[in-house]
Chain A
Amino acid sequence: MENPLEHFELHRVAALHLFGLDVSINQGVLVMWLVVAGVVALFAHAAVRATMIPGAIQNVVEMSVEFIYNLAEDNIGPNGRRYVPFLITLFFFVLCSNLLGLVPGMFTVTSQLFVTATLAVTVYVISLVVGFYRHGIGFFKILLPSGTPWWLIPLMIPVEILSQLARPLSLAVRLFANMTAGHTVLAVLFGMTVTLPWWGGWIPFGVTVAINALELLIAFIQAYIFVMLSCVYFGDAENMAH
């Protein structure tokens, strides 16, 4: 049976060196370009030919935009609408990467920790910038929940620093782990399908189909959770939740 982790490996498609850095194009980069092109095409189609009575694609796009809009308004507050363009970009990039990864033979970019970590760190840095911009140096108060008894302060500050540092990390690891785990299961089951003789292969193959349907659900849920938690972090920065 072949190695079920093999399809996570990156292979160089075109070697490219810029300023002494190895920025070679691998298949992950190609898929990301494909994702970006697909999302742009989807939105362009919906926006350019926007009609009063929306067609199928326009309907889907408008519904998801409204969905993110409500999510931002609920979680961030009155300033939420300023984040909507970023959140929609994030949502559709993650969602389309997840969905495209489910196409057999495709590469899943969200199963690369580098990709998810880049997204998560971007979200977290934006929330820090917004926090310091809105509240100045007082944003450090986020490290000290209100109503902490004085004798707990030396304990609470390190705990809060750790919990802040864990945010981008858990955001990145959650998406990466969910995608990697699901695709590993699929690869193992499909490996069994190929390896077993004709009378046994259909059992793991049936399970593969079922798991693929489950992965479809997970693709949506993970994109939603990623954006929802980004909203929560932005909301904390806007409103100083403590």
Chain B
Amino acid sequence: MGVELVVATCLGGGLGYLGDRKLATLPWLTLLGVVLGTAAGIRNVLRIAAEMDRQREGGPRGPDRPGKG
């Protein structure tokens, strides 16, 4: 699942860089984007890990199942 982290970080950084190019604020949006992208990547990894956990335990999937952060 390492791809998840790389892709999200690159996506955040890339979008930040595009925004920087448009607004001429060069380092700032890129930095913000990388940080947010990393957070998004970690979130995706955690989500998939929780999903796999649930699958191994054979828990039900439905609207009323206990929520995970």
Contacts and interface: CB of A to CB of B under 8 A. Distances in A.
Instruction: Tell which of A166, A169, A177, A232 has the most Cβ of chain B within 10 Å.
Output: A166
B4 A77 contact: no
A170 B43 contact: no
Interface of B: 3-4, 6-8, 11-12, 15, 33, 36-37, 39-41, 43-44, 47-48, 51, 55, 58, 60-63, 65, 67-69
Contacts of B63: 77, 239-240
Contact of B44 (A77, A78, A167, A235): A167
A158 B29 CA distance: 13
The 3 closest A-B pairs by CB, nearest first: A163-B40, A162-B40, A166-B8
Chain B interface, DSSP helix/strand/loop, else mixed: helix
Given A160-B40, A163-B44, A166-B41, A174 B3 contact: yes
Contact of A75 (B4, B7, B55, B65): B55
Contacts of A166: 4, 7-8, 11, 37, 40-41, 44
Contact of A159 (B36, B47, B48): B36
B62 A173 contact: no
A197 interface: no
Nearest to A163: B40
A104 to B, nearest CB: 27
B63 to A, nearest CB: 5
7 contacts: A74-B61, A145-B69, A162-B12, A173-B3, A173-B7, A174-B3, A241-B47
Contacts of B47: 163, 241
A120 B68 CA distance: 25
B62 A229 contact: no
A220 to B, nearest CB: 17
B40 A232 contact: no
